[in-house]
Structure 1
């Protein structure tokens, strides 16, 4: 994976981020979701690098081979604001003051927070398979609670760690051929680490507490994304089925929004890398 990319562990303050970076040209950061690592982008990153981009692919704090502070009672160590601060510090340490930004799944919330808090650092942002956390919570239905029950299960203290730890492979599943053997092996290494599992669960606990509060404060203050936003969602996932057109929702949160569905299941970077890279480049090349 990532042939020609450098691999480093970069101290960003509270955490050390494991990061792959390569290519030349304007920088773009790719942020993964749960329970993936940066390796989920192994089919997309080379396509972007080939088209004249410097591509930076970190493991988010607590995920994969990145570290995280010990859990706190308020879960603030796993907040999207803390994770966004890591990414901003990483890019500055790599010499990039302004960059394009892509987030998928949980990584989308980090990308959203970074673009919201630091628009001066983000040229354009693409958010994949997400709407704001508070918009999810405002739309809770039996269907959402059934399909997305893990949001609320992961928020419980201690029990999820014990359940997942009993058999991580059975809990998370996955197909090495579909994911790519090295990507699958890297994710398997991560989910077999109790420290990583705890950190990933803390991400969800923060989501329903401190991250929700941050978004509620944004909404109360009528804050909106100032940078151009591309919203992409997987046609064979359930986001649109549960919530309708994501663009309608995001227009309440951003000044300049566009987007469309991609023919893929949820893990679009692994399942439809060419279509995803094409959509990102068309957006970023403007």
Structure 2
């Protein structure tokens, strides 16, 4: 897994992250979603490594990265806090400006990084997401029924108790679909109470402080300064729930293109070659 990549533990001002680094060329930071770790990129990163220096961290709260202290507003798990980690990580690796792609919950951190630090993000790719504020503003009975976990995870204590009672049944997954080493890494994460709490805290931040940050940007008329590429899974429910995905992103990004891919939600595991080709073409331009 990740042949030719190094595996490092990097101490940053606010967090300590487990990070894979490999390849050569322009820097490209890849952010995983829930409930995955950086290992979700193991089929994509080596392909991108032919053109890019690829950096794949476990986000704070996830995998084997450090877990933030709990606060009433969940600010330690906010996408703004994780964006500061992204900036600090890439600066420590010697990159003042970089390409950035995020999937699922990692897409929210990627979006916040580009919004808060436009001087650092050259191009942005969002995979399977619309902004948190838009998702919540558009929430109806269909969304609540399909994405009920957003609201369950927002509750205190009960989500962790439910997940940890049987993590394998809760999350599913298989070595055949994910790859043996990636699956083992995933299992270690979902069986760790501190990691489960950290992942759930990401959702608690999403319902509160993250939404506030998005709404403040919207009110101020702030938009992305860099080109945006949006990709989403045709066999997941993002388009079914929200309709024209690019129309939603055009309100946030003057330069946006995108399309759906013929896969289910975990595109990096299901369609690695096509995803790598899409990202390579976008970030090479």
TM-score by length of 2: 0.99
Shift of 1:134: 1.1
Alpha-carbon distance in 1 for matches of 2:254, 2:225: 6
Shift of 1:69: 1.9
Alpha-carbon distance in 1 for matches of 2:234, 2:62: 27
Tell me which residue corresponds to 1:187: 186
Tell me which residue corresponds to 1:16: 16
Query: Is the 1:43–1:270 contact (alpha carbons within 8 Å) kept by the matching residues of 2?
Result: yes
Tell me which residue corresponds to 1:110: 109
Tell me which residue corresponds to 1:44: 44
Shift of 1:175: 1.6
Alpha-carbon distance in 2 for matches of 1:70, 1:85: 16
Is the partner of 2:155 in helix, strand or coil? coil
Residue 27 (1) aligns with residue 10 (2): no
Coordinate RMSD, CA, aligned: 0.6
Query: Is the 1:71–1:199 contact (alpha carbons within 8 Å) kept by the matching residues of 2?
Result: no
Tell me which residue corresponds to 2:121: 122
Shift of 1:70: 1.6
Is the partner of 2:49 in helix, strand or coil? helix
Query: Is the 1:104–1:128 contact (alpha carbons within 8 Å) kept by the matching residues of 2?
Result: yes
Runs of 4+ off more than 2 Å? none
| Unmatched runs of 5 consecutive residues or more in structure 2 | none
Tell me which residue corresponds to 1:7: 7
Aligned ranges for residues 34-73 of structure 1 at < 5 Å? 34-50=34-50, 52-73=51-72
Alpha-carbon distance in 1 for matches of 2:133, 2:202: 15
Is the partner of 1:71 in helix, strand or coil? coil
TM-score by length of 1: 0.99
Residue 207 (1) aligns with residue 206 (2): yes
Please give the per-residue CA displacement for 1:15-37, whole angstroms capped at 9, x wherever unaligned.
10000000110000000000000
Query: Is the 1:14–1:68 contact (alpha carbons within 8 Å) kept by the matching residues of 2?
Result: no
Please give the per-residue CA displacement for 1:29-59, whole angstroms capped at 9, x wherever unaligned.
0000000000000000000012x21000000
Shift of 1:115: 0.4
Shift of 1:12: 1.0
Tell me which residue corresponds to 1:277: 276
